[in-house]
């Protein structure tokens, strides 16, 4: 290798290292060369669909989605001793969503660019062409249909006739590789790549937080995908922590009063940390279980695991401690023997307990361990019934302490009228109380 060629190769590789981030360009250590991943700039609202010649996957046959990014075109190259004075780089061109025929056309154009620039470094013209002109050169427009052969990975390690069909393979370049194993793998790769690149683009943009009214980088912000509202992580962290501390785990929504976009568990965990997220996760599970009529809790104080009741049965078995118990008396399951405390008996015992004196109450509680819990639940239910009304949206009981009759549900944040329980619009909830729409039950 001449000194001029060696210096030209080293300068070109150093330039690539300085221009592209490490996750996009990797320089080889053993030989002069490297691998670069090129993400194309797609037009807005770019629609793709997957077409597979396999007749076994109806979901893939119907797959269609709008994307901002596609998986990269990968240029893998090595620089021979005669480059750039006399010899072109050795390369392969691979992509998951371009067919071998399309990749062959790109390989041929890279050869043409080398001929035009023979004697000069050519990696930059190659990269510029692939990144900026591929879509026009291959006449790719939205909607774009991706064809995936049922035999998966297209590589010349197989028999060309077997892979591409007789009479077709000589027109394909052995440097062109459609490196995808199946249509289902391609779908997952496209969705993952699009999400990762969208996050990368989001991280470097500036956004105005509508809570603190300061501009922050996207990497310091969180956005709600349904509504696209963006808030800085510091403000959103404080907001979520207050809600979780107060037990309002169903209120982790976009802070915009007119928006109902729900934060994902991953967003909550990234913002509040492990300890507070554990409380959030526990309360969320607890609130869900409390709404399930077929769930009871293991009566062992050291366990308290939620247990699903068998339909029509009276026995429940804890999945953790394996304790089999009666769902009525919470004692060890007594088989065919009649339960001392069934549903009707509990009602009678509750009435007897409420009418008894202190000594009689203590005696009943001693004989029937579950009676205390039932009595407390009945008292609680009676209080709730007498002092609250159900939210017309989610049915959570709401207590009115003071203020006007426009209520806000602590469970789902829905506005409603305390008098007639009508759901009120988010944009103007007070319109309901003004003439001529004044609440008619006042």
Q: What is the CATH number of the domain that holds 286?
A: 3.30.40.10
- 176 and 30 assigned to the same domain: yes
Q: Name the most confidently modeled range: 53-62, 234-243, 402-411.
A: 234-243
For residue 405, CA distances in Å to 2, 388, 421 come to: 88, 13, 10
Q: Which residues contact 300 (CB under 8 A, 6 or more apart)?
A: 318, 321, 323
- Can you give the pLDDT at residue 166? 43
Position 439 in a domain? no
Same domain, 166 and 128: yes
Q: In this structure, are residues 327 and 309 in contact, taking their beta carbons and an 8 Å threshold?
A: yes
Asked whether residue 369 is assigned to any structural domain, the reply reads no
Residues 152 and 49 in one domain: yes
Neighbours of 55 (CB within 10 A): 8
The CATH number that applies at residue 70 is 3.10.110.10
Q: Is 354 among the domain residues?
A: no
Q: Same structural domain for residues 18 and 138?
A: yes
Query: Do residues 77 and 179 share a domain?
Result: yes
pLDDT at 58 over 80: no
Instruction: Measure the CA–CA gap between 83 and 33, rounded to whole angstroms.
Output: 11
Instruction: Tell me how many domains the chain contains.
Output: 3
On whether the pTM is more than 0.95, the answer is no
32 and 160 share one domain: yes
Q: How many CA atoms lie within 13 A of 291 on its CB side?
A: 10
Question: Of 290, 323, 342, which residue constitutes the final position of a domain?
Answer: 290
Among 168, 199, 230, the domain boundary falls at 199
Tokens at 338, concatenated: 């009649």
Task: Tell me the torsion sign for CA atoms 157, 31, 5, 76.
Answer: positive
Q: Over the stretch 193-229, which tens digit does the pLDDT of each residue have?
A: 998 999 899 999 999 998 999 999 999 999 888 888 9
* pLDDT at residue number 215: 93
Unique residue bearing structure tokens 């993952």: 192
Query: Has residue 351 been placed in a domain?
Result: no
Question: What was the pLDDT predicted at 178?
Answer: 86
Phi, psi of 406 (to 5 degrees): -85, 110
Residues 262, 283 within the same domain: yes
* pLDDT > 70: percent of the chain: 83
Active-site residue, selected from the candidate residues 209, 404, 417, 439: 404
Q: Average pLDDT, stretch 86-103?
A: 92
- pLDDT tens for 385-429 read 777 888 888 888 888 777 788 888 877 888 888 888 888 888 888
Same domain, 119 and 24: yes
Nearest to 164 by CA among 182, 185, 175, 149: 149
Given a cut of 70, is residue 330 above it in pLDDT?
A: yes
Tell me, yes or no, whether 379 lies in a domain.
no
| Residue 85 covered by a domain | yes
Looking at the structure, tell me whether residues 234 and 270 fall in a common domain. Answer: yes
Tokens of 243: 């809600």
Residues 154 and 236 in one domain: no
Residue 404 known to be catalytic: yes
Q: Is the pLDDT of residue 438 over 80?
A: no
Shared domain check, 224 and 188: no
Which range marks the domain in which residue 240 is found? Answer: 207-290
Residues 130 and 64 in one domain: yes
- Is residue 360 situated within a structural domain? no
Picking from 223, 258, 290, the residue at the C-terminal end of a domain is: 290
Residue of 145, 169, 168 whose CA lies nearest to 97:
145
Domain assignment present for residue 181? The answer is yes
For residue 377, the SS3 value is helix
């Amino acid at each position: 290798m001449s000194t001029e060629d060696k210096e030209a190769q080293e300068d070109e590789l150093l330039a690539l290292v300085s221009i592209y981030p490490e996750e996009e360009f990797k320089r080889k250590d053993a030989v002069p060369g490297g691998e670069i991943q090129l993400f194309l700039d797609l037009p807005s609202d770019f629609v793709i669909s997957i077409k597979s010649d396999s007749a076994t996957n109806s979901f893939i046959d119907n797959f269609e989605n709008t994307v901002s990014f596609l998986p990269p075109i990968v240029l893998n190259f090595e620089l021979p001793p005669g480059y750039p004075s006399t010899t072109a780089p050795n390369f392969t061109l691979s992509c998951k969503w371009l067919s071998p025929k399309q990749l062959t056309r790109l390989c041929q154009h890279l050869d043409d660019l080398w001929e035009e620039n023979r004697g000069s470094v050519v990696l930059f013209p190659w990269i510029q062409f692939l990144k900026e002109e591929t879509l026009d050169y291959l006449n790719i427009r939205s909607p774009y249909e991706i064809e995936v052969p049922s035999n998966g990975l297209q590589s010349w390690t197989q028999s060309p006739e077997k892979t591409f069909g007789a009479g077709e393979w000589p027109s394909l370049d052995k440097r062109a590789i459609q490196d995808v194993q199946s249509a289902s793998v391609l779908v997952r790769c496209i969705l993952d790549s699009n999400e990762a690149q969208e996050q990368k683009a989001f991280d470097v943009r500036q956004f105005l937080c509508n809570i603190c009214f300061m501009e922050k980088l996207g990497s310091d912000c969180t956005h709600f995908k349904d509504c696209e509202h963006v808030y800085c992580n510091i403000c959103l962290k404080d907001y979520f922590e207050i809600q979780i501390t107060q037990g309002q785990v169903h209120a982790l929504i976009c802070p915009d009063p007119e928006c109902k976009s729900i934060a994902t568990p991953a967003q909550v965990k990234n913002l509040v940390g492990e300890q507070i997220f554990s409380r959030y996760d526990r309360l969320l599970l607890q609130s869900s279980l409390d709404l399930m009529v077929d769930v009871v809790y293991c009566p062992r104080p050291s366990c308290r695991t939620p247990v699903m009741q068998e339909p029509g049965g009276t026995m429940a078995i804890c999945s953790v401690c394996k304790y089999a118990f009666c769902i009525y008396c919470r004692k060890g399951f007594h088989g065919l023997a009649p339960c001392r405390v069934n549903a009707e008996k509990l009602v009678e015992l509750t009435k007897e307990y409420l009418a008894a004196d202190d000594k009689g109450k203590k005696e009943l509680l001693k004989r029937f361990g579950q009676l205390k819990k039932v009595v407390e639940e009945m008292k609680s239910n009676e209080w709730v019934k007498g002092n609250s009304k159900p939210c017309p949206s989610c049915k959570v009981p709401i207590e009115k302490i003071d203020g006007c009759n426009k209520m806000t549900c602590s469970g789902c944040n829905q506005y409603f009228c305390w008098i007639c329980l009508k759901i009120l619009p988010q944009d103007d909830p007070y319109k309901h109380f003004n003439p001529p729409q004044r609440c008619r039950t006042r």
